[in-house]
Each structure stands twice: as C-alpha cells, then as structure tokens.
Amino acid sequence: MLTRLLGLLALSAAAVFTLAPDPARAEPLRIVIDDPTIEPLPFAVPSFQPESGEAGQLAVDIARVVSDDLTGTGLFREIPASAYISTVSDFNAPVEYADWKAINAQALITGAVNVSGNSVNVKFRVYDVFSGEELVDANGQGGLQFSGTTEGWRRMAHKVADAVYSRITGEGGYFDSRVVYVSETGPKDDRQKRLAIMDYDGANLKYLTESGSIVLAPRFSPDGNRVLYTSYESGFPRIYVLDIGSVQRRALESAAGSMAFAPRFSPSGQTVVYSLSNGGNTDIYSMDINSGQSVRLTNTPAIETAPSFSPDGSQIVFESDRSGSPQLYIMPATGGEATRISFGEGRYGTPVWSPRGDLVAFTKQNKGRFHIGVMRTDGSEERLLTASFLDEGPTWAPNGRVIMFARETQGAGGSSSLYSVDISGRNLKPVRTPEGGSDPSWSPLQN
C-alpha cells in the first residue's frame, strides 16, 4: 500500500497533494510538506478510551498533547469535539466513517490508555476517513502501542503524535525530543544565564547549572544524554561536558590557548570540534573526547569558529572571515582545504548542518537586519526564513524540517526568546519558556 503511495508521490507530488474535501477522491491521505500552498489538514482526536479505573485523566491528557503536537506544526487543524456527530466508545469497534466525513475530518486518531500502578500503556490507530482505511507505517503496521511510566506520559503522547505525523507526511517525527538552551533573566547589562533543558514543547523544564557565571551555546551529544557548552566559571571561557542524568560536569582540556568555545559533537560522539583563541587568533580544533588529544584543523590569521559536522561525520561547515567578512566554508573533518559556500550579500555565521544532510542553516546579517536561513550544502538555493532586529543560532529538529533559534528584541529593554519556524518559512512562532532564552539546541529523537 505505502509503496504504491510513494510511487505516486514520485510521479507527481502536486497531484497527490489534494486536500479538497472531495468524498469521491481516490488519493491517499498525504501532506507534502514542501508544497507552498498547503492548507492545514483537518483531523479529529476524541479523548482516548480509559481501559482501567485510574486511566481516565491520562486518556484525556494524552489526546490533548497529541492534538497540540499536530496542530503546532501548522500542517494540521483539529476539529473541535463540539462538532462530533458520533463518539468513539470502544477502541476496537468499527469506525463510523460517514459521521467523520460529515464533519470533514480527513484523519481520525483513536486511542486507549491502560494504567497499572505507575506504568501506563497507550494504544492508538489513525484512519484515513475519506478512503475508509486505517493508515499504516512503512512496515505495514497499523495500530501501535507504547508503554512507560505515568510520570513520562507526555513522551507517550509525543510518540503517538510522531507516528501519526510520519504516516501522513512520510517524514520522520520530532515531537519526542528535548531542547537544551540558555535561560536568561535580567537587563542587558546584568544578564544572568543558566542552562535549562525541556521537552521540545516547553514542558518538564529543568535547570542544569546555577546562574553564577556566563554559560553559552549548549549542544547535545548524538545520544541525547550529554551536553557540551562553554562556561566562564573558571574565569575564562572553557568547554565543559555535562551528563544530563546526573547533572555532573567536567571541563575538557583544550589545546593551549586563552579561550576555548563553540564546541560541538561529531555524529559518533567521540570527537568534539571547537574554537580556540590564542594570541588573538581563533582557529578550529578537534578533540578526541576520551584521550583529550586535540588536533588543529584550520591555520589562518582569520577568525574561524562555529564548526558543525555533516551527519556522516566526513565534513565540517564553519564560519570564517578570511575573505574579509564572515562567510560559510566546508572542509574535510580532518582539516585541509576549505570551500566557500556563501556568496550572497551580507555576513554569514553559525552554520549548522541539517540532520538529513541536505541543507545548512545559518544566521545572516544584512543591512542592519538578521535572518535565519537555509541553503544547500553547495551554497545554492539560499532561502531566508525570518527577519528581525536580531535572530541567531539556528538548531534543527530531528527530522530536519523545523528550525529553532533565538530572537533578541531591540533597545534598552531588549530580551531574548526562543522561536521555531518551518524550513518553508511557515509557522513562525514563539517557544514557551518561563524566562528568556537563547542558544537552543534540539536533541535527536529519544529512544
């Protein structure tokens, strides 16, 4: 079934992307995310069925989070329960497609929740209402179930939403993920910073450091369990690695120099690339995280910083002002000749390689404005997604479809907060945090 759909997609994405509420249509339920004329797909997600006495509230809450995840993408629109003609009272009962068609729900998500002690089991199914079929995953699997603890119930909701998102878009999900960032309070001339971690949607926030010293640019390890960041706690900027579970941190011994900053893991998690300043000159180094041995990768009098690995680990994209202004370059992961990829007007910085490998996200400064943008890895097809007084520091969602970044407002009362935007430029919106925020880093999907 899905193979056939993918074949159709390859033939003509535009033809497949038909969301008109035509009951007679034969096309499968599908959102092609790149389509510029996309309209949110209407769906219904009735409260899940409680299958045990204690499951009542979770059955309601999980359906809420699934709905919030999907509507938050801008690709889906929930049909309110007040419009329902029929309800779902049994997870295994046949679906009354006509009742859902009548209210134009193109997708229907049903689920059931069973709680026993502190463990919870969630089952779900997703239906293509107009074709009258259950949607399956790439393996032909229909209904799925997830188990976990009642404390971690939101993760199960995110997993359900990821599965629904994947089945309808054909893309990987990104809801069961976390974000580590710098939480900020205070005015610009007395800003207090500390590391914080939260679910991608702002829930389950936890602080990882005290606000006594400047902390900058946390970056997840590929397994999502550790964070690299820069701290001034020794008095000078140095690189630290922090274990998220234990909140224990240790300084990494950089090569000799006055400042080490801008660290990032390799895809294997074994290597850290970073910037080292020595005698006023900043170059890029890589360090074996176990042995602590550093190797110098760039060797010019220019500023070289903000390195980021390609997903296969073979190349590094970075920022250099060797041409006279900051631009983006790609070099082999072992150093060597670099190729410039940014040629547009303005200054380019903070390049980050997409987890899909196809794009590089960056910060661009031009004519007094800042932009978050993406370009192909050869520099072609540059696309600016945002514009403001100061946008910077993009980070990719695990599926390479959404970018989070920080936006600082102008003036004496300026403050920084987190935003996200699709790589199409759609769905720009603030990310909920209790204080200001900057330097977000999006984790991989959790296991």
Partner 1 sequence: MKRILTSTLLISALAVSACTNPDRFGADGMGGAGAGAGAGANAGIVPGSANDPTSTAYFQQAVGDRVLFLIDQSTLTDTGRATLDGQVAWLQSNPHYQAVIEGHADEQGTREYNIALGGRRANAVREYMISKGIAASRLKTISYGKERPIEICSEEACYAKNRRAVTVLAGGGLTS
414 is a contact residue toward partner 1 (CB under 8 A): yes
Question: Any long-range contacts for 282-289 (C-beta under 8 Å, 24+ apart)?
Answer: 284/316, 284/318, 285/254, 285/255, 286/333, 287/252, 287/254, 287/255, 289/241, 289/252
Nearest approach, Cβ of residue 300 and partner 1 (Å) = 12
Q: What are phi and psi of 73, to 5 degrees?
A: -75, -15
26 is a site residue for partner 1 (CB under 8 A): no
CB of 393 to partner 1, least distance (A): 7
Q: Which stretch binds partner 1 (CB under 8 A): 10-18, 84-92, 335-343, 388-396?
A: 388-396
- Is 280 a residue that touches partner 1 (CB under 8 A)? yes
Residue 316 is a binding residue for partner 1 (CB under 8 A)? no
Q: Examine residue 206 and tell whether it contacts partner 1 (CB under 8 A).
A: no
Work out whether 350 is an interface residue with partner 1 (CB under 8 A): yes
Residues 5, 38, 255, 259: which binds partner 1 (CB under 8 A)?
A: 259
Residue 439 lies near partner 1 (rule: CB under 8 A):
yes
Give the residue with the Cβ less far from partner 1, 118 or 234.
234
The one among 408, 415, 436, 437 contacting partner 1 by CB under 8 A: 408
191 interacts with partner 1 by CB under 8 A: yes
326 binds partner 1 (CB under 8 A): yes
Choice from 52, 131, 225, 365 touching partner 1 (CB under 8 A) = 365
Q: Is 117 in the site for partner 1 (CB under 8 A)?
A: no
Candidate segments 25-33, 41-49, 125-133, 276-284, binder of partner 1 by CB under 8 A: 276-284
Q: Does 286 bind partner 1 (CB under 8 A)?
A: no
Contact segment (CB under 8 A) with partner 1 among 63-71, 172-180, 220-228, 303-311 equals 303-311
Per CB under 8 A, does 217 bind partner 1? yes
3-state secondary structure the chain: CHHHHHHHHHHCHHHHCCCCCCCCCCCCCCCCCCCCCCCCEEEECCCCEECCHHHHHHHHHHHHHHHHHHHHCCCEEECCHHHCCCCCCCCCCCCCHHHHHHCCCCEEEEEEEEEECCEEEEEEEEEECCCCEECCCCCCCCCEEEEEECCCHHHHHHHHHHHHHHHHHCCCCCCCCEEEEEEEECCHHHCEEEEEEEECCCCCCEECCCCCCCEEEEEECCCCCEEEEEECCCCCCEEEEEECCCCCEEECCCCCCCEEEEEEECCCCCEEEEEEEECCEEEEEEEECCCCCEEECCCCCCCEEEEEECCCCCEEEEEECCCCCCEEEEEECCCCCCEECCCCCCEEEEEEECCCCCEEEEEEEECCEEEEEEEECCCCCCEECCCECCEEEEEECCCCCEEEEEEECCCCCCCEEEEEEECCCCCCEECCCCCEEEEEEECCCCC
Does residue 235 interact with partner 1 by CB under 8 A? Answer: yes
Among 3, 139, 290, 410, binds partner 1 (CB under 8 A): 410
| 189 lines the binding site for partner 1 (CB under 8 A) | yes
Q: Single out the segment in contact with partner 1 by CB under 8 A; choices: 67-75, 86-94, 168-176, 258-266.
A: 258-266
- Residue 345 interacting with partner 1 (CB under 8 A): no
Question: Based on CB atoms, which residue is closest to partner 1, 97 or 405?
Answer: 405
The yes or no reply on residue 336 touching partner 1 (CB under 8 A) is no
User: Where do contacts with partner 1 occur on this chain (CB under 8 A)?
Assistant: 187-189, 191, 214, 216-217, 234-237, 258-259, 261-262, 275, 277, 279-282, 303, 305-306, 319, 321, 326, 347, 349-350, 363, 365, 389-390, 392-393, 408, 410-412, 414, 438-439
